[in-house]
Each structure stands twice: as C-alpha cells, then as structure tokens.
Amino acid sequence: MAESKEYITGTSADGSVNISEEVIGIIALEAMSEVEGFGGTVNILGNIAELIGKRSASRGIRVTSDENGIIIDAFVSVRYGYPVADVARSIQDAVFKAVSDMTGTAVSAVNVNVSGIQFDK
C-alpha cells in the first residue's frame, strides 16, 4: 500500500498543483546546505520514525501551511566557529528564497531552531 503524503495545494482557473511537503523539505535542505557554517539538520523525533519504518530525506525539517502560505521549521546544527545568529539568518533567507522561487507559493515563515553545534572531525 502506498504511503500517505501531505501536499501543499495551489488552485487556479486551470486546475490545481499539489506539491508534497517532503519535496518542499528537500528544497529547503538543499538551500541550507549551501549556507557557510551550516552543520546539518537535527532529527527532532530521534529514531522513533525510523523504528516505525518512516524515513525521510528531509529529517529535521517540518513543513506545514496556513492561510498565509507555507511554514517551515528547521532544526539545525551550526559548525563550530561560525556566528550562530548569522548562520541562522542566512539559512532563513536561503530557504525562504529557494522555496518561494521553486514552488511559486508564498512562504509565511521560516523558523530556524539551532539545536546543536557540529565540530570538525
């Protein structure tokens, strides 16, 4: 049986466009990975999702929507030595722009939650 997915739907006179929340999460993750000082995402649910068989390429990113547009919550780590607030702001700007540009849908909020520090190995 196919896995149930949540979609962000946009409608117009020509029909509707449905974009999976996971696709939006992947766009956000790709945008974040280009920010200097980004250390990775932090899995907010721990290993619970993997234990029940749900894996996602966009772990650490939660996508929801409201009447104003898409809301993205990102749980990230910042590389040691980089200014946390500057990296968080850069992540916020990059995700906002990438998701807006690639989906054509309004983004009402990008919430960046710095949940860890990534040390070089």
Instruction: Give me the pLDDT at residue 43, please.
Output: 79
Per CATH, which fold does 21-118 belong to?
A: Alpha-Beta Plaits (3.30.70)
Instruction: Give me the pLDDT at residue 6, please.
Output: 83
Helix, strand, coil percent content, the chain, rounded in steps of 5: 30, 35, 30
Instruction: Give me the pLDDT at residue 11, please.
Output: 72
| pLDDT tens profile 68-109 | 999 999 999 999 999 999 999 999 999 999 999 999 999 999
Rounded to two decimals, the pTM is 0.82
Q: Which amino acid is at 98?
A: A
Burial of 60 by CB count in 10 Å (0-12 exposed, 13-18 middle, 19+ buried)?
Answer: buried
Instruction: Give me the pLDDT at residue 1, please.
Output: 37
Place of tokens 């540009």: 101
